[in-house]
Structure 1
Amino acid sequence: MFYIPEVLMNDVLLKLPVKSLLRFRSVKKSWRDLIDNPDFIKMHMDRSMKMGSSTVEVIHRCNLNKFYSMHLDLSGNPIRDPEELPHPFGYRYDHDKSVVYTGEYEIHLVGSCNGLVCFVDSAHRIILWNLATRKYFELQHLDMELPRFIDLDLTYYFNYGFGYDGATDDYKVIRFINSYNNKSDCFLVELYSLKSKSWKRFEDLVSTTRSDHYGILVGGSLHWLMYETKWDDDESPIVAFDLTKEEFNLVPCLHLPGKIASMNLGTFQGCLCLFCHYHEAGGELWVMKDYGIKESWTKVYTNNRTSVRYMRAIDHSILEVNKTRLLWYNSLQENCLKKIKICCATKGCLEACVHYESLVGIDLMGL
């Protein structure tokens, strides 16, 4: 029988895609133990991220509860038709093999990190899901007494963020709870650790923070825009939560002349970026090339179209525009933007993220 040295076999397996590794887990127990080993999973993920890929996978929402996965080549062309995702919130296959959602709530895409995708529904159920392995985990509800400032007769605003803490090798979900009516600065923050499978609660850490996007992960911190902060204030409108230190801080932001109608955060080639939409017309995309350094904010794109009132960079080469369509750019020149063919998105419902396959969470529940 032909013998392959263990070191060589490990090296070969590290180079294989996730779907092949999932099949090879059934070959023999030693392979299964290796592929399921946390060190192997991390090495495989790090190698995949470093080597890159000839394709980009994008997860997007097309209406209140339907999600699709699509693969694009490095020019933004679809490799195959978008595939509807049978997400773990409840579904069944119809007679024509389409996916039918069996729940009653609106579902949102919080974000994707190292192969895990975070979803939340309007009943505040939170699920972490690995699309490649079809494994998922639903976070248990936080069973703690509500603080005294919470008034159950008021309407509350929730916001979320999801990211990876490299210092502790842990995945964390953060949730803000604040009232639309409560003018007090009292504000609730809850943090979930996947490693400990437990919640912790912070109170009065920052003043009111609202945003129309979920936390943007850059450099081990999640980022939001503070809704009430005026553009002319000395205080930066960008607040960051350090996932390792578990503390908030302000990120220095640029100040621009002109009347700004709205701002949106995103990521561009691993950097924090900000799209500013002006009342007059169009907008500008700025990138913080050296994280934390105010002077490193650099304008990389100007859009003069009056119809573009919202834009968010979704890493790689993808822009989400007006929450209805996705555009691909090879360079940040207006005439190089190319529309990505996606399933029709209901107005205001489009949410999208770039997703990378991994073996993370292989010990979670199966779908």
Structure 2
Amino acid sequence: MKGTIPDDVDADADAVPRKGKVVTTKPPPILPDELIEEILLRIPARSLVRLRNSVCSSWRTLISSSQFAKDHLRRSMAVDPALTHPRIACYGQTYLYPTIGVFSVRSVMGNPPREPTKVVPYDYEGSFRLIIGSCNGLMCLHDEEGQAMLWNPCTGFTSQPLEIGCLLSICGFGYDHVNDKYKLFAVVKKKSGESVSRMFTFGPNSTWRTIQDFPHKLGDRNYRGSMVDLVGLFQGFR
């Protein structure tokens, strides 16, 4: 009967076809989602950014998720322990274009100091040249007009500028792992001359929140840096 398969066709679809035999083919194998994610985690961040708009929607969603970013950072730090070493970043124009130079603490303490271990072009069109701090690959920058923003040197991502409205006297940038948020802590002077402590949480619809009046008089110097005891500070000011 036309269209029927002969009785002597091998059941094994992968067998070598012989004359008079009808051979079916198996569909291509499908990789488990867990294996796909493990492969993508091994790709450098810059390459992932370039490929993000060229892959399927499911991969693009995975790459763009905050959990994937955390896993990628965690794996990168495990593979290269040097990423966890203390470093110093500074803005400079010693090249033909503005840059952010990264120095190891050991190189800065050397005599004479060494060149930066890494130089990242900084082509943001603005005056964000004051570095507040860095955490998990993100840098928090501040300008002289009373604004702050986040910048990812690897991906080029910049957040919307945060209107602070005044110059920061004492400030620090860090990550609150309890609430999974990046926060900026600052002590600012009010028009009355009094100083207040404020906390800003980066994210949609975020605003400043006054914590308490700062009990000490501020001098003329500005202090910037990264938070040290993030857990104790952020848990107390949630």
Change (3 A) 1:214 1:134: same
Counterpart residue type for residue 87 of structure 1: Y
Q: State whether structure 2 residue 175 is matched by structure 1 residue 173.
A: no
Partner of 1:188, secondary structure, is: strand
Counterpart residue type for residue 159 of structure 1: I
Counterpart selection for 1:87 from 110, 114, 124: 124
Partner of 2:67, secondary structure, is: helix
Q: How far apart are 1:8 and its partner, in Å?
A: 1.0
Q: How far apart are 1:129 and its partner, in Å?
A: 0.9
Asked which structure has the greater RCO (Cα within 8 Å, sep 6+), the reply is 1
Structure 2's unaligned 5+ residue stretches are: 1-27, 108-113
Question: In 2, Cα distance between the equivalents of 1:124 and 1:113?
Answer: 21
Q: State whether structure 2 residue 182 is matched by structure 1 residue 200.
A: no
What are the equivalent positions in structure 2 for 1:73-152 lying under 5 Å apart? 82-89=119-126, 107-141=129-163
Counterpart selection for 2:199 from 170, 191, 198: 191
Counterpart residue type for residue 45 of structure 2: V
Change (3 A) 1:173 1:88: farther
Q: How far apart are 1:217 and its partner, in Å?
A: 1.9
Aligned to 2:233: 242
What are the equivalent positions in structure 2 for 1:1-367 lying under 5 Å apart? 1=28, 3-25=30-52, 26-52=54-80, 59-62=89-92, 67-70=98-101, 82-89=119-126, 107-141=129-163, 158-178=169-189, 182=193, 186-195=194-203, 196-209=205-218, 212-220=222-230, 242-246=233-237
Higher-strand-fraction structure: 1
Partner of 2:142, secondary structure, is: strand
Equivalenced residue count is 197
**Residue identity (%):** 24
Structure 1's unaligned 5+ residue stretches are: 90-102, 144-154, 222-240, 248-367
Q: How far apart are 1:83 and its partner, in Å?
A: 4.5
State which structure, 1 or 2, has the greater radius of gyration over its C-alpha atoms.
2
Counterpart residue type for residue 78 of structure 2: K
Paired residues of 1:192 and 1:200 also in contact (CA < 8 A): yes
Partner of 1:202, secondary structure, is: strand
Q: TM-score when scaled to structure 1?
A: 0.45
Question: In 1, Cα distance between the equivalents of 2:130 and 2:61?
Answer: 35
Change (3 A) 1:118 1:24: same
Question: In 2, Cα distance between the equivalents of 1:14 and 1:72?
Answer: 27
Q: How far apart are 1:219 and its partner, in Å?
A: 3.4
Q: How far apart are 1:200 and its partner, in Å?
A: 1.0
Higher-helix-fraction structure: 2
Change (3 A) 1:187 1:81: closer
Deviation readout 1:270-305 (Å, 9 max, x if unpaired): xxxxxxxxxxxxxxxxxxxxxxxxxxxxxxxxxxxx
Paired residues of 2:62 and 2:68 also in contact (CA < 8 A): yes
Question: In 1, Cα distance between the equivalents of 2:116 and 2:163?
Answer: 40
Q: TM-score when scaled to structure 2?
A: 0.67
